[in-house]
């Protein structure tokens, strides 16, 4: 039990990566897909600080890209910046109120979605506004909704089980 | 101590920068079309930061360059030795065979002063004359090739007949097959090579140069390239059309080939 508590956050991170590359493609609405690892990475960044968040982000990004994406390096780049921002702004080393978590996950997923969509569509002729409306917005809303659903679910109450 | 304190203070930012650079490197190596645009953006940023340091020489590059240049110098020395040997051998053999020595010449820069107004003559007035050792018959050239020859000299001026004049003629040679002929004007800016029997070897694309027969115009001055050859059954000679190398419509500065032997005799 103690082992599980010690490594719970990393186990959850690995599970989120597996989920991202296996189940998420089937969860797409039109062309919008959520990003599950960013939620876990944000959690790590705001509870453990941006330093751990950054290392976790870089590693996760490399793994996700090598398993899944055709644009290698994009995930690690976007995860890094998103978790750095959320870690710097919302670091909170005690059990976090839902409102604060909502804000932190919102900022983090917004930064991630905007960066990811913008870089991924660099070769298109779309304007920044078009990219925001067509790609970043839906991706951000979908991912943030999952982060909030997790926060209001009974699972969130178990967050203190994770040793930090 | 201060540096360590500074590094500790900005630890997160430094690690972020390092990890971002790794990510950018990964993105740069990606074959995705968007990665190409990303690469261009990264390159333009890198260029801005690298520009102030361009003047700093790269020791390794300089070392390689230096080694390559030394090698090249050695090769050129060898080649120069070979040429010198060949030159001396050539001179010796010419002497043995009793050949006349080729007259040396020098290039005298001249400016086109005016176009000659004589009807039926296409010539230019140049700003060099007897005083500069210019003689009737000297070749007038540009870096491209033969322009014409001097037909009249005064003290500080001379008149140069262009190769496009109807009465111009100069002995010429096919550079490849060494077949001799006479270059004359044909029409417009086109020349023709006459007096070449039809059984001799001339091909389209051959370079025509001066043959040096006659003395005042040295051999080897480029004239033009063979552009058309026609053979008619009734004719004994080939009709060879030559496109000149010189752009006659844009002549401003030319060189007069002054023969030093002749000049000294003068």
Share of chain B above pLDDT 90, in %: 21
| Segment of B42-51, B54-63, B184-193 carrying the highest mean pLDDT | B184-193
pLDDT for B98 = 67
Q: Which residue has the tokens 């679910």?
A: A153
CB pair distance less than 8 Å for B27 and A71:
yes
Report the mean per-residue pLDDT for chain B: 84
pLDDT tens figures, B125-168: 898 898 888 988 899 998 888 999 999 898 889 999 999 888 88
Q: Is the pLDDT of residue A158 over 70?
A: no
Q: Which residues pair with B172 in a beta bridge?
A: B181, B210
pLDDT for A108 = 92
pLDDT for B262 = 54
Q: Is the pLDDT of residue B117 over 80?
A: no
Q: pTM for this structure?
A: 0.50
Share of chain A above pLDDT 90, in %: 20
Burial of B15 (0-12, 13-18, 19+ CB in 10 A): middle
| Average pLDDT over every residue of B190-216 | 87
DSSP string over A63-121:
HHHHHT-SSTTHHHHHHHHHHHHHHHHH---SPPPHHHHHHHHHHHHHHHHHHHHHHHT
pLDDT tens figures, A87-124: 888 887 666 777 888 888 899 999 999 998 888 888 77
Q: Is the pLDDT of residue B18 over 80?
A: yes
Write the Ramachandran bin of B96: left for phi over 0, alpha for psi from -120 to 50, otherwise beta: alpha
DSSP string over B94-125:
HHHHTPPPPPPEEEEEEEEEEE---TT--EEE
Chain A and chain B share a number of CB contacts under 8 A equal to 73
Q: Is the pLDDT of residue B226 over 90?
A: yes
Tokens of A37: 């690892």
pLDDT for A93 = 65
CA dist., res. A65 & res. B200, Å (int): 73
Contact predicate B19/A62, CB 8 Å: no
From chain A, which residues contact B within 8 Å (Cβ)?
A: 50-51, 54-55, 57-58, 61-62, 65, 70-74, 76-77, 80-81, 84, 88, 119-124
Contact predicate A151/A40, CB 8 Å: no
CB pair distance less than 8 Å for B15 and A54:
yes
CA dist., res. B116 & res. B110, Å (int): 16
A1 band by pLDDT with thresholds 50, 70 and 90:
low
CA dist., res. B66 & res. B55, Å (int): 17
The C-alpha of B4 sits at a distance from chain A's nearest C-alpha, in angstroms, of: 18
Q: Which residue has the higher pLDDT, B39 or B262?
A: B39
Q: Which residue has the higher pLDDT, A83 or B2?
A: A83
């Amino acid at each position: 039990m103690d082992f599980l508590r010690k490594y719970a956050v990393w186990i959850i991170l690995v599970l989120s990566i597996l989920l991202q590359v296996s189940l998420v493609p089937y969860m797409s609405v039109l062309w919008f897909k959520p990003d599950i690892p960013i939620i876990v990475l944000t959690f790590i960044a705001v509870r453990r600080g941006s330093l751990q968040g950054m290392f976790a982000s870089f590693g996760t990004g490399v793994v996700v890209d090598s398993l899944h994406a055709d644009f290698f390096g994009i995930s690690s780049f976007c995860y890094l910046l998103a978790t750095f921002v959320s870690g710097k702004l919302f670091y909170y080393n005690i059990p976090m109120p839902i409102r604060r978590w909502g804000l932190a996950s919102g900022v983090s997923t917004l930064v991630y979605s905007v960066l990811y969509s913008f870089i991924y569509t660099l070769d298109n002729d779309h304007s920044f506004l078009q990219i925001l409306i067509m790609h970043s917005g839906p991706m951000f809303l979908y991912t943030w909704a999952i982060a909030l659903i997790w926060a209001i679910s009974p699972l969130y109450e178990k967050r203190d089980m994770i040793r930090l | 101590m201060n540096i360590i304190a500074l590094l500790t203070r900005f630890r997160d930012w430094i690690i972020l920068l390092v990890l971002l650079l790794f990510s950018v490197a990964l993105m740069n190596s990606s074959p995705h079309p968007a990665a190409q645009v990303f690469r261009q953006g990264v390159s333009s940023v890198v260029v801005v930061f690298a520009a102030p340091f361009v003047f700093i020489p790269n020791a390794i590059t300089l070392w390689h360059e230096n080694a390559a240049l030394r090698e090249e110098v050695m090769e050129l020395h060898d080649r120069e030795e070979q040429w010198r040997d060949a030159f001396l051998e050539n001179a010796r053999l010419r002497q043995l065979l009793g050949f006349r020595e080729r007259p040396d010449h020098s290039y005298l820069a001249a400016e086109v002063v005016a176009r000659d107004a004589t009807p039926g003559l296409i010539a230019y007035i140049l700003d060099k004359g007897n005083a500069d050792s210019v003689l009737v018959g000297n070749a007038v050239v540009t870096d491209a090739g033969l322009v014409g020859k001097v037909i009249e000299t005064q003290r500080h001026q001379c008149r140069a007949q262009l190769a496009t004049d109807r009465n111009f003629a100069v002995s010429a040679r096919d550079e490849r097959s060494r077949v001799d002929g006479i270059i004359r004007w044909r029409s417009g800016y086109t020349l023709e090579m006459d007096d070449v029997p039809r059984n001799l070897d001339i091909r389209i694309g051959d370079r025509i140069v001066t043959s040096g027969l006659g003395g005042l115009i040295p051999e080897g001055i480029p004239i033009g390239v063979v552009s058309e050859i026609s053979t008619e059954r009734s004719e004994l000679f080939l009709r060879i059309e030559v496109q000149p190398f010189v752009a006659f419509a844009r002549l401003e500065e030319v060189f007069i080939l002054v023969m030093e032997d002749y000049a000294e005799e003068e």
